[in-house]
């Protein structure tokens, strides 16, 4: 069982490294910091609750069941961190946010202190590593300690469920998906962990024995709920950036036909290569360099080449947009051939501006690159294709 719990803690904590990959930025962002704190505390709860950890802690301190208040205190701190995270997620005036955070910390700090005091006052000399909640369900002070930590955790998860239901109707996109995952994880915790714990304890009070609910059902359900919640916290923060990186990498590759045609032209100096350079940074450099090369080739544009290619595309049944792209690709290939061969610019000088240079974004450049690739594949732009001269 300890191995499963440690694995859940490792997977849970791994999501923190994704958000904390830029420590300087993360420390200045209360939302990122509170998210990481919640994930770390959740991982520590798993580590502390493992039977192997409990046995080691009990042996090191020389106090039977000392791992119990440690675990319950850690779980209460995790519950507090969830509420702090929700407060920072909602945002608002800084003074109001700070005041709400301190109230939450004070309430759960008092709860942790009460758990510790109750444990000190209790008679719990028999070490229990897996069934402490039910074994001591009728023991004075231990009974109150167990109920107190459960009620504190229940309060946090119920508030989280209510907030997720409310916000889920107000937001869209990945944020709504994240809230649904958080709600699912919280419900798994409420129904699979807390309800089973309450039921097993109540059965002990009634003279019955449903300990398996507390020892067998509750731990894996708590792990599943926590992992689902962490996915909900991390997903809206990480996935949009990941998708943007993926799109940037795709556009970078789709610009290759245009870049291959223009790389001989003078461009901005290439920054030093590094393995960690993001696709967005590489795409930005390639886009700037292509614009510089297009500006350098502008004197070689020949309107006659463009008009002939456009009329040929229209006769072939292409639409106006596709015909324009094909005409620009043909004119650009011809200009690159002339410039590479160091020919004189054609006369009279063209005043035509490529559509890709008149609009923002990478989309038009990508379409122009694809038009060049199609012209090369069809053979229509073969004579305009050049290679960088070797010097």
Residues 56-90 have pLDDT tens digits of 999 999 999 999 999 999 999 999 998 998 888 88
Own/partner contacts of 274-281, CB < 8 Å, gap of 24 or more, are 278/245, 278/248, 279/245, 279/246, 279/248, 279/249, 279/252, 280/244, 280/245, 280/248
Task: Summarize the confidence of residues 163-178 as an average pLDDT.
Answer: 85
Between residues 133 and 91, the one the model is more confident about: 133
Q: What percent of the chain has pLDDT over 70?
A: 86
Which pLDDT value is given to residue 3?
62
Residue 174 has pLDDT above 90, yes or no: no
Which pLDDT value is given to residue 391?
33
Which pLDDT value is given to residue 374?
84
Q: Give per-residue pLDDT as tens, 39-51.
A: 888 888 888 888 8
Which pLDDT value is given to residue 61?
92
Which pLDDT value is given to residue 390?
33
Between residues 177 and 384, the one the model is more confident about: 177
Considering the chain, what is the average pLDDT of its residues?
84
Q: What is the dihedral of CA 128, 130, 134, 138, to 10 degrees?
A: 20
Q: Give per-residue pLDDT as tens, 21-30.
A: 555 555 567 8
Which pLDDT value is given to residue 269?
59
Which pLDDT value is given to residue 388?
36
Residue 103 has pLDDT above 90, yes or no: yes
Task: Summarize the confidence of residues 271-292 as an average pLDDT.
Answer: 72
Write down the H helix ranges in the chain: 2-19, 23-28, 30-49, 51-61, 67-90, 94-121, 132-135, 142-168, 173-188, 195-205, 211-212, 218-254, 256-262, 279-297, 303-315, 320-340, 363-378
Q: What percent of the chain has pLDDT over 90?
A: 37
Residue 192 has pLDDT above 90, yes or no: yes
Q: Where in the chain is the domain with CATH 1.20.1070?
A: 2-245
Which pLDDT value is given to residue 384?
39
Which pLDDT value is given to residue 128?
92
Confidence of residue 234 (pLDDT cuts 50, 70, 90): confident
Confidence of residue 264 (pLDDT cuts 50, 70, 90): confident
Task: Summarize the confidence of residues 271-275 as an average pLDDT.
Answer: 51
Confidence of residue 380 (pLDDT cuts 50, 70, 90): low
CATH 1.20.1070 fits 2-245, yes or no: yes
Task: Summarize the confidence of residues 297-304 as an average pLDDT.
Answer: 89
Highest mean pLDDT among 43-57, 255-269, 352-366: 43-57
User: CA–CA distance from 385 to each of 257, 260, 297, 299, 327 (Å)?
Assistant: 10, 9, 14, 18, 15
Q: Give per-residue pLDDT as tens, 317-338.
A: 889 999 999 999 999 988 888 8
Confidence of residue 275 (pLDDT cuts 50, 70, 90): very low
Which pLDDT value is given to residue 140?
94
User: CA–CA distance from 14 to each of 123, 221, 230, 245, 343 (Å)?
Assistant: 38, 19, 10, 21, 59
pTM of the model: 0.69
Confidence of residue 13 (pLDDT cuts 50, 70, 90): low
Between residues 347 and 357, the one the model is more confident about: 357
Which phi and psi (to 5°) does residue 159 adopt? -60, -40
Confidence of residue 2 (pLDDT cuts 50, 70, 90): low
Confidence of residue 385 (pLDDT cuts 50, 70, 90): very low
Which pLDDT value is given to residue 311?
92
Half-sphere exposure (Cβ direction) of 210: Cα atoms closer than 13 Å: 17
């Amino acid at each position: 069982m300890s191995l499963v719990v440690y694995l859940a803690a490792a997977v849970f904590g791994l999501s923190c490294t994704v958000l904390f990959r830029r420590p300087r930025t993360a420390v200045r962002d209360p939302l990122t910091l509170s998210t990481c704190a919640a994930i770390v505390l959740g991982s520590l709860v798993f580590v502390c609750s493992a039977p192997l950890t409990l046995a080691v802690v009990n042996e090191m301190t020389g106090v039977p069941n000392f791992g119990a208040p440690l675990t319950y205190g850690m779980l209460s701190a995790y519950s507090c961190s969830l509420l702090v995270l929700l407060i920072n997620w909602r945002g608002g005036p800084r003074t109001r946010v700070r005041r709400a955070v301190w109230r939450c910390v004070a309430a759960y700090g008092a709860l942790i202190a009460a758990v510790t005091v109750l444990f000190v006052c209790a008679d719990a000399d028999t070490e229990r590593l897996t069934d402490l909640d039910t074994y001591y369900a009728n023991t004075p002070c231990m009974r109150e300690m167990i109920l107190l930590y459960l009620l504190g955790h229940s309060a946090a998860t119920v508030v989280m469920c209510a907030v997720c239901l409310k916000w889920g109707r107000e937001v869209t996109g990945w944020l709504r998906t994240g809230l649904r995952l958080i709600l699912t994880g919280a419900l798994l915790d409420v129904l699979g962990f807390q309800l089973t714990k309450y039921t097993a304890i109540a059965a002990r009070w009634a003279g019955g024995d449903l300990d398996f609910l507390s020892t067998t059902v509750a731990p894996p359900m708590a792990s599943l709920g926590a992992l689902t919640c962490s996915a909900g916290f991390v997903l809206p923060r990480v996935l949009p950036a990941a998708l943007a990186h993926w799109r940037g990498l795709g556009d970078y590759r789709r610009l290759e036909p245009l870049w291959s045609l223009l790389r001989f032209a003078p461009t901005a100096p290439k920054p030093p290569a590094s393995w960690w350079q993001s696709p967005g940074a590489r795409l930005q450099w390639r886009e700037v360099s292509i614009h510089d090369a297009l500006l350098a080739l502008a004197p070689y544009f020949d309107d006659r080449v463009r008009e002939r290619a456009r009329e040929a595309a229209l006769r072939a049944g292409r639409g106006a947009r596709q015909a324009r792209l094909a005409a620009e690709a043909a004119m650009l290939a011809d200009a690159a051939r002339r410039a590479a061969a160091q020919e004189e610019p054609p006369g009279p000088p063209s005043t035509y501006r490529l559509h890709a240079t008149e609009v923002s974004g990478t989309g038009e450049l990508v379409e122009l690159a694809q038009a060049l690739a199609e012209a090369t594949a069809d053979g229509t732009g073969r004579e305009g294709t050049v290679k960088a001269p070797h010097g």
